[in-house]
């Protein structure tokens, strides 16, 4: 009996603890991993919000030795990863805890890679380039969007070449994700909007990815529904913990979907854009989303119709053209509702930047699973449309 291996799908996930108070398990997990000394990775904003101190207090109460590394930028840089790895080794750490948004978590992944494998972090760009297991990772996200806490991606900025590199490997899937909606109450509305739209893009791109399958589809569609139903209300009422929980659940499901199905042109172009101009990742995605949907639509009409239905669009009796228009209209409206109306030109992109941005986007691993194959002129046209 022959079998078609093209139908095989891999699914990786950390151990997940989800719900209010999940962060309080951090010391217990550190002990389970035999922590001799923990490196706690965070950033100044998270420290100011009080979450870093709370984690340190929990480790201290359990008599676990730790040191903190907070020299992390909003888009973590290669130099910060290398400094963090040196700091990890100098202090003889053997477990890493990250508390924060995507930046501290991605930086922590980079520190783990370099501390175990040596060499420079740029040497690990691409897919499955890590050969030695990295230290145990315990992640506590304080935003609902990046999903670095559940994904096999690490995104690092290279300021020299002005680009973000993608490292894709199951080696960087955290061992434990402590996903606690209470930690997101300190996000301002702009950050809530950016990270929420980022999660929506993760789910949409995962569902139309050429790597999608039954295991990722169910998470992607539920994420689209949860974010669509709750994000606008959350941005208008940031203190509502029930809304925070729903959006964080959507973010987690979107993360599980894209981590395994990979992404597409929105993220390839967004990584290029964010690395070039050091812009918030969620904002980059927001500026590109409907233009990439328009470009990809004819290659995945049936899938985009399912996405439209998950966004509460009644597609009965609609032609393909009408479904496309309604879908693009809904994602555009969602962006407007949460205040993300910027275009590329307003963010500092000029027409002369587009060939460079496009060339870099075509080298991003995310472009490989985009449903429509793209050449440089295709990518340039989408950037131009978003200008």
- pLDDT tens string 139-160: 999 999 889 999 999 999 999 9
Report the relative pairing of strands 66-69 and 38-41 from DSSP bridges: parallel
Separation CA 277–CA 163 (nearest Å)? 9
Quick: pLDDT tens for 230-276: 999 999 999 999 999 999 999 999 999 999 999 999 999 999 998 88
CATH 3.40.50.1970 in the chain, residue ranges: 15-184
Q: Do 51 and 20 form a contact (C-beta atoms < 8 A)?
A: no
Q: What angle, 0 to 180 degrees and rounded to 10, lies between the N-to-C axes of helices 281-296 and 265-277?
A: 140
Phi then psi for residue 58, to 5 deg, are: -65, -40
Helix/strand/coil for 137: strand
Q: Is the pLDDT of residue 10 over 90?
A: no
Q: Record the tokens describing residue 229, joined without a space.
A: 């139903």
Q: Is the pLDDT of residue 362 over 60?
A: yes
pTM greater than the 0.85 cutoff:
yes
For the chain, the average pLDDT equals 94
Q: Where are the alpha helices (DSSP H) in 312-363?
A: 320-337, 354-361
Quick: pLDDT tens for 27-51: 999 999 999 999 999 999 999 999 9
Class of the domain covering 15-184? alpha beta
Q: Is the pLDDT of residue 3 over 90?
A: no
Class of the domain covering 189-386? mainly alpha
Predicted confidence band at 6 (pLDDT cuts at 50, 70, 90)? low
Separation CA 370–CA 267 (nearest Å)? 10
Helix/strand/coil for 239: coil
Report the relative pairing of strands 153-158 and 163-168 from DSSP bridges: antiparallel
The dihedral through the CA atoms of 310, 312, 314, 319 has a sign that is negative
Average pLDDT over residues 95-121: 97
CATH 1.20.1090.10 in the chain, residue ranges: 189-386
Residue 354 burial (C-beta neighbours within 10 Å; 0-12, 13-18, 19+)? buried
Nearest to 366 by CA among 194, 211, 196: 211
Q: Do 245 and 181 form a contact (C-beta atoms < 8 A)?
A: yes
- What's the CA angle centered on 286, arms 127 and 102, to 5 degrees? 50
Q: Where are the alpha helices (DSSP H) in the chain?
A: 26-32, 44-49, 51-61, 78-90, 102-117, 189-208, 214-236, 241-261, 265-277, 281-296, 301-310, 320-337, 354-361, 376-386
Q: What is the percent of the chain where pLDDT is above 90?
A: 90
């Amino acid at each position: 009996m022959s079998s078609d291996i093209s139908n095989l799908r891999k699914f990786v996930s950390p151990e997940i603890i989800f719900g209010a108070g999940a962060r309080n398990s951090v010391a217990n997990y550190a002990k389970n991993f035999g922590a001799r000394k923990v490196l706690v990775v965070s950033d100044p904003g998270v420290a100011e919000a009080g979450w870093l101190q709370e984690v340190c207090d929990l480790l201290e109460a359990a008599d676990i030795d730790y040191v903190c590394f907070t020299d992390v930028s909003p888009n973590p840089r290669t130099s910060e990863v290398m400094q963090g790895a040196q700091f990890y080794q100098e202090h003889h750490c053997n477990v890493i805890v990250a508390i924060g948004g995507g930046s501290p978590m991605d930086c922590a992944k980079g520190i783990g890679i370099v501390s175990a494998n040596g060499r420079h972090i740029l040497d690990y760009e691409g897919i499955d380039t890590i050969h030695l297991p990295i230290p145990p990772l315990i992640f506590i996200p304080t935003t609902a969007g990046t999903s670095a806490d559940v994904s096999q991606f690490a995104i690092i900025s290279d300021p020299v070449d002005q680009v973000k590199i993608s490292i894709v490997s199951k080696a960087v899937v955290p061992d434990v994700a402590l996903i606690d909606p209470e930690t997101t109450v300190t996000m301002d509305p702009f950050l809530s909007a950016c990270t929420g739209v980022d999660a929506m893009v993760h789910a949409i791109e995962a569902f139309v990815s050429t790597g999608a399958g039954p295991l990722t589809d169910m998470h992607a569609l539920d994420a689209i529904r949860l974010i669509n139903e709750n994000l606008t209300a959350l941005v208008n009422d940031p203190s509502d913990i029930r809304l925070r929980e729903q959006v964080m659940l959507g973010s987690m499901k979107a993360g599980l979907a894209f981590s395994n199905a990979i992404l597409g042109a929105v993220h390839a172009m967004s990584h290029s854009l964010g690395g070039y101009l050091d812009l918030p990742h969620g904002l980059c995605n927001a500026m590109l989303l409907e233009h990439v949907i328009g470009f990809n639509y004819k290659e995945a009409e049936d899938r985009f119709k399912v996405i439209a239905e998950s966004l509460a669009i009644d597609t009965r009796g609609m032609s393909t053209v009408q479904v496309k228009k309604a879908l693009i209209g809904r994602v555009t409206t969602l962006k407007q509702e949460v205040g993300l109306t910027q275009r590329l030109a307003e963010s500092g992109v000029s027409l002369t930047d587009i060939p460079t941005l496009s060339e870099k986007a075509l080298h991003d691993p995310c472009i490989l699973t985009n449903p429509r194959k793209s050449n440089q002129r295709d990518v340039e046209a989408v950037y131009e449309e978003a200008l």
